[in-house]
Chains A and B, each alone.
Chain A
């Protein structure tokens, strides 16, 4: 009798425990887990140069089941200002951060500050921290070298006679420096000297700056902003016949190539920069022991003649989103 009562109570207790577990699991499944939120800090995120990158972020967020929030870092923020902005994002519930290197330095300190609280990854400059910091982006040095290669190929035997000017909006960032170094290193053997190298930000500033520079045969634009500015000036016939080669990833840059204002366009696969950086962070959020890896993203050299080939149309598709 006593055994039977004990057994009855034991069975009922086990069943009640199972019921509680199942109910809790059902409620949890019904309510669902709040998706992780990843904050992406971009300077001027609404410009067309970020279209492919943002499309990549959205696609990866959908695949990984996370929420992505793009935060604008208005103007040229200092490391301290960007630090306080990141701090605000983390306090507001960001589970991870994706950010660009801060112009003028201080990115390392920022990453240290974030890294102890939430996972963070850098975009645009995989060489940052020499592999110690997870970063996803195109090989900037290789893109610079590709430009130099294209230039040499185009000019052929007349290359030594050509004068070159360099335009870069990101000259004070590691990304810009890598590109310039890549370009200069590739031309080192030729002994070619760079006539001038200028840096500016904003289209108006570029216009004035370009007008003030001595005429050159070749203009090398190391980022999208300077390329669009140079393309615009070329279209307006203000470059005294200078041929423009550059790196860009906006439809405007493609347009100037299409119109013949730009000779060659090296396009980093920004979709993949966005996609892979967010995928890395999402992996890290799902598995706290996952070590985020840096990745070099490919780039494509676009020629006007083959601009609308099937492969290039896929690239344009990401930029047009």
Chain B
């Protein structure tokens, strides 16, 4: 799966310049966006975290102040009770006045006050507000607030919340109070004594305050504990006491004011500690790590959404840019591909300066290549033509030399009639040889030419051999190269039948499939096989007879005109004779075909051959 993906990626990246540019741009864009997104997320997280911590700190400071106000109010009530009531009156006879003063205080603060009570140092109740029956034997001397007041006389003592269990309440309710106790000096019949003043503040004041800040359901919470970690208020107070939940209150109570990161119950959290004055109580704000993540959820979604939108836009821009950059190159490439396929389109020149320059260069290169190709073809044709002319021109002097040599002998031997016949035949031969200067003639003319030649040779050789013609008239109207039979006949005479009394040379013309086959067969001594092979290849052989030009010359001329598939074939059996066959394409001899072949274009020859093939198939 992975390999396939990489293969596909490789295919895409190697697929084209546009894909590569777009992929590269898109990859860079996405990478940049991701980096930007992560950086933004980290920055926003840090800012969000700081803001949450700061706002929590502020809230805690405000709550701390409210708690302090609550405690100050308690102190003030206690001070007022002490200095305005207790110190002013003698408990032996002015209890009513004390009661009255306490009543005034109670009435003024009854919203937050549960009770005010004055006890002597034996724990006996002297006065209390509101007036209520004391429970039977509450034994206040064993209660914490009483003991602390008696132990540390100079201080005021705040208790943790507890049930007020001193007075009867006919509503069957048990109130939670925070007790402020202090030792007071009592005047009893002029004597000074000790007592304890108790101010019970309704805990619901603190509870409401704490509930209010715990109301936000965003994960953070606040609790209040005393300096030893004893819980005063906790939103999960009962769960904690039942063991359902746990709190790190013992440790956190020892923290100084500040911000702390800690791991509790396997979860990271930030703890803010704020100490409440007068009591040493600790207001603790707990911010679980998950809360920061939860608060960032929407922002994260928004960031991801913005990033995706930006990536989408960037991909579109990348696409436009890549198309703009690559289009001229692609168009140029298309032109080049068309050119390679054989068409000759205009090279597309557009785009940036560099690409335009490249287009101009390619166009110029192609123009130059075309010119060079034309020149090469022209030069090739010229070379072929001149070579053909040169080969052809080798024949005439050779033959002329032999013929004139024979005529010389005849005249010297006073065989004038024969010389006349010879000269006549020679003249005819040369007339045919000229063939109006054409290289390509029809087979009939070439056969006639061969016959004239054989007539001359027969005279020369005193009819020492016979000549037979086996010609299929069908072959006569096809194209042949001029003077191809004469050198073969010359060889047949010189190397085949010379010196024989019953020499016989047969000239054959017939169709062989699609080709024309001309052959010269003699019944001479034959040629050894190894020598027969050399006849068509070795141009430098030393000839026993003749001028040295012959079969190689004929073979090359045929192949120059018709191609390598055509030419000579030599079959020889020692003492049996030799047959030299000429294979030619069956091209009907017309002026048009002749001209095409004379031009020597290879394409011209193939055109004719193809045309013939088509015509043949049409006929069928």
Q: A residues engaging B (CB < 8 A)?
A: 1, 3-4, 7-8, 11-12, 15-16, 18-19, 22-23, 25-26, 29-30, 48, 55-56, 59, 63, 250-252, 254-255, 258-260, 269, 271-272, 275, 307-308, 313-314, 316-320
Q: Are A26 and B18 in contact (CB under 8 A)?
A: no
Q: Are A7 and B19 in contact (CB under 8 A)?
A: yes
Cα separation A316 to B298 with both chains bound (whole Å): 43
Q: Are B316 and A12 in contact (CB under 8 A)?
A: yes
Known: A12-B312, A15-B308. A25 touches B301 (CB 8 A): yes
Known: A3-B15, A4-B15. A255 touches B305 (CB 8 A): no
9 nearest A-B pairs in the assembled complex, by CB-CB distance: A26-B301, A4-B18, A255-B172, A4-B19, A252-B172, A314-B241, A3-B15, A15-B312, A19-B308
How close is B100's CB to chain A, nearest CB, in angstroms? 30
Q: Which residues of B contact A260 (CB under 8 A)?
A: 136
Fill in one digit per residue for B163-206: 1 if any A CB lies within 8 Å of its CB, else 0. Answer: 10100110011111000000000000000000000000000000
Q: Are B174 and A316 in contact (CB under 8 A)?
A: yes
Q: Which residues of B contact A255 (CB under 8 A)?
A: 169, 172, 174
Which listed segment binds A: B232-240, B482-490, B520-528, B561-569? B232-240
Q: Are A23 and B174 in contact (CB under 8 A)?
A: no
How close is B430's CB to chain A, nearest CB, in angstroms? 70
Q: Are A22 and B319 in contact (CB under 8 A)?
A: no
Q: Are B236 and A48 in contact (CB under 8 A)?
A: no
Q: Are A8 and B309 in contact (CB under 8 A)?
A: no
Cα separation A56 to B22 with both chains bound (whole Å): 62
Known: A4-B15, A272-B242. A316 touches B311 (CB 8 A): no
**Is B32 among interface residues, defined by CB-CB distance under 8 A?**
no
Fill in one digit per residue for B258-277: 1 if any A CB lies within 8 Å of its CB, else 0. Answer: 00000000000000000000
Q: Are B242 and A22 in contact (CB under 8 A)?
A: no
How close is B249's CB to chain A, nearest CB, in angstroms? 15
Q: Are B312 and A16 in contact (CB under 8 A)?
A: yes
**Is B153 among interface residues, defined by CB-CB distance under 8 A?**
no
Contact partner of B236 (CB less than 8 A), chosen from A30, A59, A269, is A59
**Is B322 among interface residues, defined by CB-CB distance under 8 A?**
yes
Cα separation A313 to B164 with both chains bound (whole Å): 10
Q: Are B16 and A55 in contact (CB under 8 A)?
A: no
Residue of B nearest to A26 (CB): B301
Residue of A nearest to B241 (CB): A314
Contact partner of B298 (CB less than 8 A), chosen from A1, A23, A26, A254, is A26
Q: Are A308 and B23 in contact (CB under 8 A)?
A: no
Residue of B nearest to A310 (CB): B162
Residue of B nearest to A17 (CB): B308
Known: A22-B301, A313-B163, A317-B238. A8 touches B315 (CB 8 A): yes
Residue of A nearest to B297 (CB): A29
Q: Which residues of B contact A272 (CB under 8 A)?
A: 242
**Is B324 among interface residues, defined by CB-CB distance under 8 A?**
no
Q: Are B12 and A7 in contact (CB under 8 A)?
A: yes
Residue of B nearest to A254 (CB): B174
Secondary structure call for the B interface:
helix
Residue of B nearest to A18 (CB): B308
Q: Are A314 and B22 in contact (CB under 8 A)?
A: no
Q: Are A29 and B165 in contact (CB under 8 A)?
A: no
**What is the interface size of chain B, counting residues whose CB is below 8 A from a CB of the partner?**
42
Q: Which residues of A contact B135 (CB under 8 A)?
A: 258
Q: Are B19 and A22 in contact (CB under 8 A)?
A: no
Q: Are B176 and A3 in contact (CB under 8 A)?
A: no
Q: Are A320 and B176 in contact (CB under 8 A)?
A: yes
Q: Which residues of B contact A25 (CB under 8 A)?
A: 301
Q: Are B22 and A7 in contact (CB under 8 A)?
A: yes
Cα separation A19 to B302 with both chains bound (whole Å): 10
Q: Are A7 and B23 in contact (CB under 8 A)?
A: yes
Secondary structure call for the A interface:
helix
How close is B450's CB to chain A, nearest CB, in angstroms? 66
Given A15-B308, A23-B305, 9 other A-B residues pairs in contact with their CB atoms under 8 A = A22-B304, A63-B239, A255-B174, A275-B239, A307-B165, A308-B163, A316-B174, A317-B176, A320-B175
How close is A147's CB to chain B, nearest CB, in angstroms? 22
Q: Are A26 and B242 in contact (CB under 8 A)?
A: no
Q: Which residues of B contact A252 (CB under 8 A)?
A: 172
Cα separation A258 to B167 with both chains bound (whole Å): 11
**Is B457 among interface residues, defined by CB-CB distance under 8 A?**
no
Q: Are B330 and A1 in contact (CB under 8 A)?
A: yes
**Is B452 among interface residues, defined by CB-CB distance under 8 A?**
no
How close is B28's CB to chain A, nearest CB, in angstroms? 14
How close is A238's CB to chain B, nearest CB, in angstroms? 18
Q: Which residues of B contact A250 (CB under 8 A)?
A: 172
Cα separation A1 to B334 with both chains bound (whole Å): 11
Q: Which residues of B contact A307 (CB under 8 A)?
A: 165
**Is B220 among interface residues, defined by CB-CB distance under 8 A?**
no
**Is B26 among interface residues, defined by CB-CB distance under 8 A?**
yes
22 A-B residue pairs with Cβ-Cβ distance under 8 Å, sorted by A, are: A4-B15, A7-B22, A7-B23, A8-B319, A11-B315, A12-B315, A15-B312, A22-B305, A22-B308, A55-B238, A252-B172, A255-B174, A258-B165, A259-B168, A260-B136, A271-B242, A272-B242, A275-B239, A314-B242, A317-B237, A319-B174, A320-B174
Cα separation A18 to B136 with both chains bound (whole Å): 74
Residue of B nearest to A256 (CB): B172
Contact partner of B238 (CB less than 8 A), chosen from A8, A48, A258, A314, is A314
Fill in one digit per residue for B294-322: 1 if any A CB lies within 8 Å of its CB, else 0. Answer: 00011001101100110110011001001
Residue of A nearest to B235 (CB): A62
Residue of B nearest to A25 (CB): B301
Q: Which residues of A contact B315 (CB under 8 A)?
A: 8, 11-12, 15
Cα separation A1 to B305 with both chains bound (whole Å): 30
Residue of A nearest to B173 (CB): A251
Interface centre among B23, B239, B242 (most CB of A within 10 A): B242
**Is B244 among interface residues, defined by CB-CB distance under 8 A?**
yes
Q: Which residues of B contact A22 (CB under 8 A)?
A: 301, 304-305, 308
Q: Are B309 and A19 in contact (CB under 8 A)?
A: yes
Residue of A nearest to B319 (CB): A8
Cα separation A249 to B298 with both chains bound (whole Å): 46
Q: Are A63 and B12 in contact (CB under 8 A)?
A: no
Q: Which residues of A contact B23 (CB under 8 A)?
A: 7
Contact partner of A1 (CB less than 8 A), chosen from B18, B168, B244, is B18
Cα separation A282 to B309 with both chains bound (whole Å): 39
Contact partner of A318 (CB less than 8 A), chosen from B26, B163, B238, is B238
Cα separation A272 to B239 with both chains bound (whole Å): 9
Contact partner of B311 (CB less than 8 A), chosen from A15, A63, A314, is A15
Q: Which residues of A contact B312 (CB under 8 A)?
A: 12, 15-16, 19
Q: Are A320 and B305 in contact (CB under 8 A)?
A: no
Residue of B nearest to A319 (CB): B174
Cα separation A317 to B312 with both chains bound (whole Å): 60
Cα separation A8 to B323 with both chains bound (whole Å): 11
Q: Which residues of A contact B15 (CB under 8 A)?
A: 3-4
Q: Which residues of B contact A313 (CB under 8 A)?
A: 162-163
Cα separation A96 to B564 with both chains bound (whole Å): 100
Q: Which residues of A contact B136 (CB under 8 A)?
A: 260
Residue of A nearest to B162 (CB): A313
Q: Are A30 and B26 in contact (CB under 8 A)?
A: no
How close is B139's CB to chain A, nearest CB, in angstroms? 11
Cα separation A3 to B18 with both chains bound (whole Å): 9
Interface centre among A16, A259, A317 (most CB of B within 10 A): A317
Cα separation A7 to B316 with both chains bound (whole Å): 12
Cα separation A6 to B248 with both chains bound (whole Å): 59
Residue of B nearest to A272 (CB): B242
Q: Which residues of A contact B173 (CB under 8 A)?
A: 251, 320
Q: Are A4 and B16 in contact (CB under 8 A)?
A: yes
Contact partner of B16 (CB less than 8 A), chosen from A3, A12, A316, is A3
Residue of A nearest to B15 (CB): A3
Q: Which residues of A contact B304 (CB under 8 A)?
A: 22
Q: Which residues of A contact B316 (CB under 8 A)?
A: 12
Q: Which residues of B contact A308 (CB under 8 A)?
A: 162-163, 165
